[in-house]
Structure 1
């Protein structure tokens, strides 16, 4: 049975809908799909993306959902008012447009302008205030309170219940990658959602063909031991779904299946 996968969506509902239509045209309405995370941030409709995925799941679609680093940052903002992640070495906050959290909360009606105090060397960017349109300037905890009122609980639960990886036979689906040489049961969450160093340059054999996103490319790339499906939808490029069938890999477009040849 064919398995379909969709890389980083980043709040682009229109691109997600196109990808879903391409998959349905190839595999029918009950196609098995694994989504690789980073559903939110940077794009204009993170709320719409999450709702579309939830509606599909609740409608009985055979879909699986992997958690991305941006999804976790959104959840940490909602749950503990955290806008920094130790993996962001620049110190910028999740609300900075470079990371795109401002676009995510705007999709829930919290459009506004953030004022930051820039980090010093090795420091963290501080949110001074958030000027919510039609309201006064809010501090971080006030902004989180407002978000708690408008972000549906089912959206929080969806992210919290997403998986760190999905193993399906000869394929392992994960957001960022794995630490080579470490058993799957011993993999660290930080690596699964953030890893680049020691992974992107790894050319050795693996127990599976690992399918991941996280590191944006110009288009999906087959590296032999892994397939990177982050084709840069967050940066103006298409969201390109892939199909894994009978040991071969294709991408999908309006003309149908296009072979994705290993460059490894």
Structure 2
């Protein structure tokens, strides 16, 4: 069992909102005591009206790096298929410096076809996108070692997704944080498989922080399984922080009694 403290994140979807509201909600979440502030890397809305307003992920992260002072920031998650790995590494290094070492590089293989076709990228297949991610992760790590100046710290890598043959193998090799969208029943199985991939890679699975979406119904079971990062979601047109407040109170209670 992990001895990590519970952390709580907020994913603020940058869609169906004006930026003044996004900035206000991000500031409010930091004031409430959230540990991580995530956006999402999509070029079009994934919920609500498909042609509603949305904003680009990495430009926003640079703005958050200046407008926040304490929270870690990142994408949940950045789409590898439309981000050149070497350039992404440089973007992450730059936001890392702007934020004084608060960036988490969230990355995944991508899944929303319109992101690709709408901007002229090849969508491929689920397998080809995961193969691209497998090639990208070492390139990102190598680029960080070459940049001048280097990142301010070893930038934590969050890998999102639950594919048991490829994604979990990549998480075992490269992730500091693995983010699952699964419910508690599926999470138990996936953690067992992640442990098997870690053993094959010669890595202690305790070195990977387990991240899940914040669902009240099964959070205690997920905690018992080892999840320690719980991310609550909100977005437009009317973002609501009530769920975040409740999770922060649960976090504090857990961390006090554990």
TM range, smaller chain? 0.3 to 0.5
Give the structure with higher Rg (CA). 1
Q: Which has the higher strand share?
A: 1
Report the TM-score, using the length of structure 1 for normalisation: 0.39
